[in-house]
Amino acid sequence: MTLYKLMNRGLVRSLHGVISAGKESRVYEAETSKGITIAVKIYLVSSAEFRRKREGYIVLDPRFRRAPSNFRSFVYLWAKREYSNLAKAFESRVACPQPLFVEKNILGMNFIGRDRMRFPTLVEVELSITEYSHIYKEVLQNVRRLYREAGLVHGDLSVYNIFVTDKIHPILMDFSQAVVLDHPMASTLLERDVRNLVTDFNKRGVKTGSLQATLEWIKGESR
């Protein structure tokens, strides 16, 4: 079993509470053999919808081109893909979890929280307009850095997968759907991400500017 293999290597000593749960994966607060708190994401290998919804991201990705015919192998590739996306983002100084390891359907990341309690997402907090404005500015800076330095588009960005630290800084999460810039879906996904941000922060009283102007700034087409 994959988890036991990770335990034997000292990468995981124990799993604790579930941080988040969805139809396709579970994220756990875990501990390494050195007593370090980490996050462990386990992709479920029994979700019938998983491949149907995700195959386009793989077959159109120039890094892969071909999706494995075996379902388990597809899930393993998806986990490896998220690890790769996180590594590129982290190396480009994007505020995101640092990937630690990937083994089949299990992805390890640094834990985003304090004292074994995860930080809340944007949708879970109530902040002042000044604080929301500050976070919005930092989120856009990270989206721009992701685009221009890492060469990626997040692809699923919203207030539901942006954590807020205790010092009121955003951390972007869930990079499994991120795509490289020459992926055929990149422009569509970037526009969707930015539209989500503009809409969500407008609702919170932030003066966001237009969708088009924001897209041009992210791409470096304007100052």
Q: Which of 40, 7, 38, 6 is nearest to 21 (CA)?
A: 40
Amino acid at 84: S
- Whether 174 is a known active-site residue: answer yes
Q: Give the CA dihedral 90, 92, 95, 101, nearest 10 degrees.
A: 0
For residues 218 and 144, what is the distance between their CA atoms, to the nearest angstrom?
4
For residues 176 and 199, what is the distance between their CA atoms, to the nearest angstrom?
23
* Range list of β-strands (E), 48-104: 99-103
Radius of gyration of the chain (CA): 18
Of the residues 61, 115, 166, 174, only one is catalytic, namely 174
- Length of the chain as a residue count: 223
Of the residues 156, 182, 193, 200, only one is catalytic, namely 156
- Whether 115 is a known active-site residue: answer no
Is the CB of residue 41 less than 8 Å from the CB of residue 47?
no
Query: What do you get for the CA distance between the two ends of the chain, in Å?
Result: 52
Q: Which of 221, 164, 218 is nearest to 191 (CA)?
A: 218
Q: Which of 167, 97, 159 is nearest to 131 (CA)?
A: 167
Strand partners, 110: 38
Residues annotated as catalytic (active site), given as ranges: 156, 174
